């Protein structure tokens, strides 16, 4: 019999999900009868028991023990139970689509049962045996509630429209759930963006990120200040406790050093928000890219004249600065096999097709030829100052013209050398593609770019270092790949091809990136 004691504050490596057996006394006895352990069964994942004993929380390999007591599970007809809580945006469409796609691909029949407005479940039945294999139970509210359920041990997976906050991370670690900021504790399953919207009959079509922040801080109150009619601005935003509502404050308001105005009309559902804005000529709203509906999306424009519009491609590359990844978080404990298979499926190529059909931005890499990027080259020429020589622009065009840009890009957290959440997910995606041999006999070049702050020579050196750091991260993640079958190179052009204006923090952050070009 193998026992592992979870030391205080350490990650619980193995867990269980049989909630029906929770808080029930059991006795586990080794098959030779020499060791006996009594405690409260916290869960069973089909292979391992998790028991709360006088020695602390222990995990026990089920193959080496016999279980006795009212909480003992049925080993012959074990049904895996997975509790998923959090974002209603993800729970409404995306997660059901992924579960149904997973069931179809793996020979299960998926039956949905709705209990009330916030609770529903999927029962997955094996088509060959007719036996119930798993129950995926959902509670759809908001990201805050999802993390609260996780910390209360009432959820196994959190659907989140933002990254875990510092206080949630600390409490999860104290509860023995491991370091929730580690790469294997979260997975980006889809991409979205925060999009400013107006009614179709509103003449305003562009807004700068700073003006957007000032409007939502109450500093700009009339459309005439934004090039529109002389009329007051009516502000609309998602509910404060939703992940998108919190992402808006993090990415738009706090970044500008401002506070959200109290005069914002809040909405629990994004589609209700976009419908309201679309019918009000003087309304300004913020919604997810998937929920723009009949409203008119505004283009983000900087004072230097460069503009970025939310499209599936610009969100996937993070060229659009207000991206909003959709996360699945799980604690450091073992999930049932079918749950692990589902999470693996959610990050695979089949799930990307399902994600796209569900109306969200998938993570499947696309190859974009240089001919389709004329605006980027125009920016490079227009922005070239005395420090960017014509020969450097010619070198860039010479290198990139026979290649195609992957939509897989890498950017960094503000004021940090750490990759942001979407980019960390991109490392795993590209690593898996290398392991599968998708780029065998091809050449990939990691190309670094920078903002225009400081000397151009120093910026190019920093951009080259970032490109090398990303290349190393991808190689390290591609543990089973034969890297001798693919050429992985680095290069850098510093500030030679800006995506946005350097006059703002968001613009500089957008410009600091590593692109991947393939031939």
Q: What is the DSSP string of 422-434?
A: HHHHHHHHHHHHH
pLDDT digits (tens, 9 = 90+) for 223-232: 999 999 999 9
Token pair listed for 103:
């069931």
Q: Quick check: 10 pLDDT over 70?
A: no
Q: How many CB atoms lie within 10 A of CB 111?
A: 13
Report all structural domains of the chain as residue ranges with CATH numbers, in order of start.
3-68 (2.30.30.100), 80-191+327-357 (3.40.190.10), 195-302 (3.40.190.10), 365-518 (3.30.1330.60)
CA distance 277 to 260: 19
Q: What is the pLDDT of residue 59?
A: 85
Question: What is the overall mean pLDDT for the chain?
Answer: 87
Please name the residues in contact with 56: beta carbons below 8 A apart, sequence gap of 6 or more.
5, 6, 7, 8
Q: What is the pLDDT of residue 142?
A: 92
pLDDT digits (tens, 9 = 90+) for 449-494: 988 888 888 889 999 999 999 999 999 999 898 888 999 999 999 8
**pLDDT bucket at 318, cuts 50 / 70 / 90:** confident
Range scoring the smallest mean pLDDT among 8-17, 44-53, 64-73, 81-90: 8-17
Q: What is the pLDDT of residue 18?
A: 37
pTM, full prediction: 0.79
**pLDDT bucket at 153, cuts 50 / 70 / 90:** confident
Query: Which has the higher per-residue pLDDT, 384 or 193?
Result: 193
Strand partners, 114: 120
pLDDT digits (tens, 9 = 90+) for 234-286: 999 999 888 899 999 988 999 889 999 999 999 988 899 999 999 999 999 99
Question: Which region, left, alpha or beta, applies to residue 445 given φ > 0 means left and ψ of -120 to 50 means alpha?
Answer: beta
- Tell me how far CA of residue 110 lies from CA of 91, 326, 336, in angstroms: 16, 23, 18
Helix segments in 243-372, DSSP class H = 243-248, 270-278, 312-317, 337-346, 349-357
Q: How many CB atoms lie within 10 A of CB 453?
A: 12
Q: What is the pLDDT of residue 8?
A: 31
């Amino acid at each position: 019999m193998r026992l592992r004691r979870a030391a205080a504050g350490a990650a619980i490596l193995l867990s269980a999900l049989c909630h029906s057996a929770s808080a029930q006394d059991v006795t586990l006895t080794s098959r030779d009868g020499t060791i006996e352990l009594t405690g409260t069964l916290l869960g069973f994942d089909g292979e391992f028991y998790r028991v709360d004993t006088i020695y602390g929380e222990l995990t026990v390999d089920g193959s080496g023990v016999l279980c006795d007591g009212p909480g003992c599970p049925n080993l012959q007809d074990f049904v895996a139970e997975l509790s998923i809580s959090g974002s209603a945006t993800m729970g409404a469409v995306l997660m059901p689509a992924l579960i149904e796609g997973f069931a179809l691909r793996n020979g299960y029949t998926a039956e949905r049962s709705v209990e009330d407005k916030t609770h529903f479940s999927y029962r997955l039945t094996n088509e060959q045996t007719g036996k119930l294999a798993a129950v995926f139970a959902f509670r759809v509210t908001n990201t805050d509630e999802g993390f609260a359920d996780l910390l209360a041990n009432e959820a196994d997976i959190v659907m989140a429209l933002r990254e875990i906050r510092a206080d949630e991370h600390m409490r999860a670690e104290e509860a023995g759930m491991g370091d929730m900021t580690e790469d294997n504790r979260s997975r980006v399953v889809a991409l979205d963006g925060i999009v400013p919207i107006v009614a179709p009959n509103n003449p305003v079509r562009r807004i700068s990120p700073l003006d957007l922040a000032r409007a939502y801080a109450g500093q700009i109150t009339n459309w005439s200040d934004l090039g529109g009619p002389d009329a007051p601005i009516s502000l609309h935003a998602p509910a404060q406790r939703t992940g998108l509502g919190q992402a808006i404050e993090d990415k738009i308001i706090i970044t500008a050093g401002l506070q959200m105005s109290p005069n914002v009309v809040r909405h629990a559902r994004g589609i209700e928000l976009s419908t309201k804005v679309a019918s009000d000529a003087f309304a300004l709203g913020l919604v997810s890219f998937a929920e723009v509906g009949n409203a008119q999306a505004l283009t983000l424009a900087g004072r230097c004249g460069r503009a970025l519009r939310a499209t599936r491609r610009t969100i996937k590359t993070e060229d659009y600065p207000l991206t909003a990844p959709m996360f699945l978080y799980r604690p450091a404990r073992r999930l049932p096999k079918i749950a692990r298979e589902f999470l693996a499926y959610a990050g695979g190529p089949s799930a990307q097709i399902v994600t796209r059909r569900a109306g969200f931005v998938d993570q499947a890499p696309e190859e974009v030829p240089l001919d389709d990027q004329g605006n980027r080259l125009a920016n490079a020429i227009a922005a070239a100052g005395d420090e960017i020589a014509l020969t450097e622009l010619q070198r860039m065009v010479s290198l990139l013209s026979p290649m195609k840009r992957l939509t897989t890009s890498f950017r960094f957290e503000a004021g940090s050398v750490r990759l942001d959440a979407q980019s960390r997910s991109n490392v795993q995606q590209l690593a898996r593609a290398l392991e599968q041999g998708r780029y065998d006999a091809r050449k990939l070049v990691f190309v670094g770019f920078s903002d225009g702050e400081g000397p151009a020579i120093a910026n190019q050196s920093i951009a080259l270092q970032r490109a090398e750091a990303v290349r190393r991260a991808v190689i390290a993640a591609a543990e089973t790949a034969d890297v001798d079958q693919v050429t992985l190179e680095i290069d850098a052009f510093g500030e030679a091809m800006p995506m946005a204006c350097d006059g703002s923090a968001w613009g500089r952050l957008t410009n600091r990136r590593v692109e991947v070009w393939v031939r």
